[in-house]
Amino acid sequence: MKKIDLRKLASVSSAERAFLTIYISEKSAKEDVEKALNIKKKVLKKGTDDFEYFSENYRMIMDDIEKNPVKKGSHAIFCCWALDYYKRIALEMPVENLVRIDSSPYILPLAQLEDEYENYLVIAASNEKTKIYIVSCQKTINEDDITGNIKNHVKVGGWSQQRYERRRDKEFSVYAKDIVEKIRDLTKGIDFRRIVIVGSKETIRELGNVLPDDLKKLVVGEKALDLKRSEKSLNEEIFSLLWEEERRTEKELWNRTKSRYLKGELGVTGTYDVLYFAKRGRVDSVIVNKNADLKGVRCRNCEELSDSETDKCPECGSSSVFAIDLVNEITELLKLSGGEIEFAENIDELKEAGDIAAILRY
């Protein structure tokens, strides 16, 4: 997935609900966007600041869509008339249509896309040929081929067979090193965190022998496959490996967080503690269930962020508060402090612990 600077988006905010965020696709005509915005506008009280901010943001967004309709893919638009801020981002993956009023850009859908559709490297290696490609959002964006032409074993005896096998082993080693060199060339300037290797057992084994440590630690899946199978069948196998690894990573992070929490070490669960430490920049990583619906409030007077759904600010007592999405707010805090967030495919134990947990830095 194309890297989007979520830290920069998270750094923009207002004390008021002055931001309007929309996610749209080419399936949404201008009239559909207008209808969705009007539904939001009806619940705002005329004469209030919220109504004025929304009306001006509405005008800016509709002017933009009129001049630049969404003809392909999906787009995210972040608008704040009060701060003279407007940003439109083309997305590589489809997203659900959404309209959100908040005090900052609503980046949660982007963070979820970033987590689920990171770039990964696929090495499809047979004895004869290897194809290496970077996949982003399930699309191939760059690739290269390396020829191997490693002959099969021969059934001859004595010294001839031994010399043949030594020569064959040397050819395999050279072939594998060529693959590593191509990986280095192919991936310059492209970020990826995972590698999947499929193909012949011999080539996979030899790659394991020659891959440098920095690449070896990124290998998350290996599987012997007949690369002469259909492309559709191979893709299904590869994506299945990646899906399994993603779920394994989520469970591993939850188990690590749970272990620290139970030992009374640097682990916390629930919205209150996670938010408390996130506001102080002490969170290393968060795991949250993807379907978690966690609410809180922000105070217009002191800008305090609270996990309580209350009519008054718990910090200053002001009744001038508005509802916020806590997962989005915690995501913003993590992007600003350099913390990580993992969106889990709904772990039952995590749900019992409040749907969210964190490992602390100190």
What string of DSSP letters covers 32-70? HHHHHHHHHHHTSPTTSHHHHHHHHHHHHHHHHHHHS--
Looking at residue 213, its pLDDT comes to 92
Q: Which of 101, 97, 120, 121 is nearest to 109 (CA)?
A: 97
- For residue 140, the model assigns a pLDDT of 52
Q: How far is Cα 337 from Cα 295, in angstroms, rounded to an integer?
A: 22
Task: Say if CB 125 and CB 203 are below 8 A apart.
Answer: yes
pTM for the whole thing?
0.83
Contacts of 130-138 spanning 24+ positions with Cβ under 8 A: 130/175, 130/179, 130/182, 130/199, 130/203, 132/179, 132/182, 132/183, 132/186, 134/186, 134/187, 134/190, 134/192, 136/1, 136/2, 136/92, 137/1, 137/92, 137/93, 138/239
Which pLDDT score, from 0 to 100, does residue 231 have? 80
**Locus of tokens 């990646």:** 242
Tell me which long-range contacts 259-268 makes (C-beta under 8 A, separation of at least 24): 260/359, 261/357, 266/359, 266/360, 266/361, 266/362, 267/357, 267/358, 267/359, 267/360, 268/357, 268/358, 268/360
The segment(s) of the chain belonging to CATH 3.30.960.10 are 1-117
- CA nearest neighbour of 118 among 141, 102, 96, 101: 141
Pairing of strands 19-25, 98-102: antiparallel
Q: Give, in words, the CATH class of 118-228.
A: alpha beta
**pLDDT at 158 (0 to 100):** 47
Instruction: Tell me how far apart the alpha carbons of residues 201 and 226 are, in angstroms, rounded to a whole number.
Output: 10
* 247 CA to centre of own chain: 14
To which residue do tokens 């749970």 refer? 258
Question: Tell me, what amino acid is at 288?
Answer: V
Name the β-bridge partners of 123: 132, 197
| Residue range(s) occupied by CATH 3.30.1330.30 in the chain | 247-362
**pLDDT (tens digit, 9 = 90+) per residue, 86-117?**
999 999 888 889 999 999 999 999 999 988 87
For the chain, the average pLDDT equals: 87
pLDDT tens for each residue of 8-41: 999 999 989 999 999 998 888 788 889 999 999 9
Range 143-149, long-range pairs (CB < 8 A, 24+ positions): 143/186, 144/182, 144/185, 144/186, 146/175, 146/178, 146/179, 146/182, 148/175, 148/203
The 8-class DSSP code of residue 281 comes to T
Residues of the chain predicted below pLDDT 50: 150-159, 164
Count other C-beta atoms under 10 Å from residue 31's C-beta.
Answer: 8
What is the pLDDT, as a whole number, of residue 60? Answer: 97
The pLDDT of residue 154: 39
Establish how many alpha carbons lie within 13 A of residue 39's alpha carbon, considering only the half-sphere containing its beta carbon: 8
Per-residue pLDDT at 235: 80
CATH of domain 247-362: 3.30.1330.30
Query: Which CATH number applies to 1-117?
Result: 3.30.960.10
CA–CA distance, 310 with 319 (Å, rounded to integer):
9
pLDDT at 320: 93
Residue 345 sits at φ, ψ, to 5 deg, of -80, 55
Location of each CATH 3.30.420.60 domain in the chain: 118-228
Which residue, chain included where needed, has tokens 């490609």? Answer: 133
Q: What is the model's pLDDT at position 115?
A: 86
> Helix, strand or coil for residue 84?
coil
